[in-house]
Chains A and B, each alone.
Chain A
């Protein structure tokens, strides 16, 4: 009886650790951003984006993810799920929008990093080679 209890407990614990662990792993996974299919390949390497590190740094999801209506960001955060094609930047930022995909990425990433640098806060890279790392 006592034995069984401990076994159940152990298995639950192990599963829980494995589960949370795998969630953490998935989030810590660096994201590969590649727009070369959309913007005719211009020869810059793909960008490894530490998504999780940005969330860790205390950034709001809505600082990057958006759905604009009348100039307001009305994104429903429950939409932010892995595999949802509607949240990909390429869903909206095509040649038709004011900012094409490459500009959307550059303006968002570098824009924020430069802003943070001006405010003397810990920030990310600004010069080409720190994001487009050659193999």
Chain B
């Protein structure tokens, strides 16, 4: 049982994860290759004025007014903290890096285990917040479907089971099997569900951003 789940299936999950993201990335460009319209470049936008450092900072802060920071600051904070912990905890986890070292002979440096355990707790609390929001805020519930809960569950499961394993609550071997399965499920589903925003966030963010600034209305993607 351990054999298959902890061996071959792990490699399979990583292969699906990486090639899935590559496939979705290439599909993204293929689907948008055909340009529907061509706009004349915007006539030389307004002259650039030299700003002082203070003006730059003020301008930057003002632009935050148009973002989530203005409409829902609590959500902005929670989601930022959530994502930072979500990325840091598994990558710099001693347990993961030791297994990596054992099987591939390479590993990153690791954070102290009590610290990564703290990060895990933060992820779990933030996830509970998202869950409550979807359950109890009318305007969020209105646009929530089963898929959203499902994806949230997939994202949380490795953290919940990892936490239980670290504390050796319940039967360790069973929890460990569940943890590995949960991790593999997450890696495999990332490219094919909305968890793919891990890749698409950056594509959207920078291509749309550049469309409205550097390239003056020309779609480059």
Interface residues of A (CB under 8 A from B): 42-44, 106-107, 110-111, 114, 117-118, 120, 126-130, 133-134
Contacts and interface: CB of A to CB of B under 8 A. Distances in A.
A133 B165 CA distance: 11
A129 B167 CA distance: 9
A43 B115 CA distance: 11
Contact of A133 (B95, B98, B113, B168): B168
B172 A117 contact: no
A113 to B, nearest CB: 10
Interface of A is mostly: helix
Nearest to A107: B102
Contacts, number: 39
Given A42-B112, A43-B113, A130-B172, A106 B98 contact: yes
A42 B117 CA distance: 13
18 contacts: A42-B112, A42-B113, A44-B113, A106-B98, A107-B102, A110-B98, A117-B2, A117-B7, A118-B7, A126-B6, A127-B165, A127-B176, A128-B165, A129-B168, A129-B176, A130-B172, A133-B168, A134-B168
Given A43-B113, A128-B165, 5 more contacts: A117-B7, A128-B95, A129-B165, A129-B172, A134-B167
B114 A43 contact: yes
Contacts of A107: 102
A126 B2 contact: yes
B70 interface: no
Contacts of B165: 127-129
B173 interface: yes
A117 B3 contact: yes
Interface string B129-149: 000000000000000000000
B102 A111 contact: yes
Interface in B88-133: 95, 98, 102-103, 112-114
A127 B166 CA distance: 11
A120 B103 CA distance: 17
A7 B165 CA distance: 58
Nearest to B165: A129
B95 A114 contact: no
Minimum-distance CB pairs A-B, first 5: A129-B172, A134-B168, A129-B168, A127-B176, A128-B95
A126 B99 CA distance: 9
A7 to B, nearest CB: 54
Nearest to B98: A106
Contact of A114 (B102, B172, B173): B102
A41 to B, nearest CB: 11
